[in-house]
Amino acid sequence: MARTTGSDGARTEEAIRQAAIDLIAARGFEAMTLRELAEKVGLQAGSIYRYFPSKAQLLVALLLEHLNFLLEQWRLERPADAGPTGQLRAFIDFHIRSHTLRRREVFVANMELRSLAPDDYRRVVALRKRYERELTRILAAGCASGDFTLSDPKVSTFAILAMLTGVGTWYREAGRLKQPELVALYTGLVMRCVGRADDGAGRVPARPAAARGPTRKSRKAPGVALETH
């Protein structure tokens, strides 16, 4: 058969991206085969090459898309007028939300850096660094204003980011704790870390879920665990 009736390029490409994220998250980039991927999408392996010039480029496309999404979304959400504490609170909220909702993307972006060719690696890492710097900036501002007390803002950035990102490792959509509680818990921990212990008592924010950010095509959670720590 020459063509599946009603097939459509844009739709197919998006289907490949989603399936790829799932498969790479589950098995790893090297372990995933294009046959598997194609089958998941309902294509022949060769057909993937209509959309991505190589397996390697597929990975790059996925990572860049994810990181750009993250940066863009944060740019839209961040409260430019808030003080350091407010900004930190917003960052934690954003990070937990995006890192639970897009757990697979995050996981892939963290695990598959070494599968990138040197040039692609540099491009991707540059974007990660830009995201990191958002937190560093907030922490530095807080230190400067006296809101936060940190012995080493650089290390604190790494430490807090690792702590927050870790949530994707064990979070399950069906688990005991829902996003709002998570945000509250992690906010408490981070506030303590930066020396604002009192602000940690903050209850779960009351913003309606609908207004809360980067969801995109919410897909059902796969049964796969995304373990790391």
Q: Between residues 115 and 187, which has the closer beta carbon with respect to DNA? A: 115
Query: How far, in Å, CA of 170 to CA of 158, rounded?
Result: 19
Rounded distance, CA 43 to CA 119, Å? 30
Residues 6+ away with beta carbon under 8 Å from 31: none
Residues in contact with a second copy by CB under 8 A are: 26-28, 30-31, 110-111, 113-115, 125, 128, 132, 151-152, 155-156, 158-163, 165-167, 169-170, 177, 182, 185-186, 188-189, 192-193, 195, 197, 227-229
Q: Give least dist CB 11 to a second copy, A.
A: 21
Residues in 29-58 at the binding interface with DNA, rule: CB under 7 A = 32-35, 38, 42-47, 49-50, 53-56
Q: From CA 121, how far away is CA 106, in angstroms rounded?
A: 16
Question: Would you say 220 or 229 has its CB closer to a second copy?
Answer: 229
* Residue 228 in the binding site for DNA (CB under 7 A): no
Helix 9-27 with 55-77: angle, nearest 10 deg: 100
Tally of residues, the chain: 229
Residues that bind DNA (CB under 7 A): 1-9, 12, 32-35, 38, 42-47, 49-50, 53-56
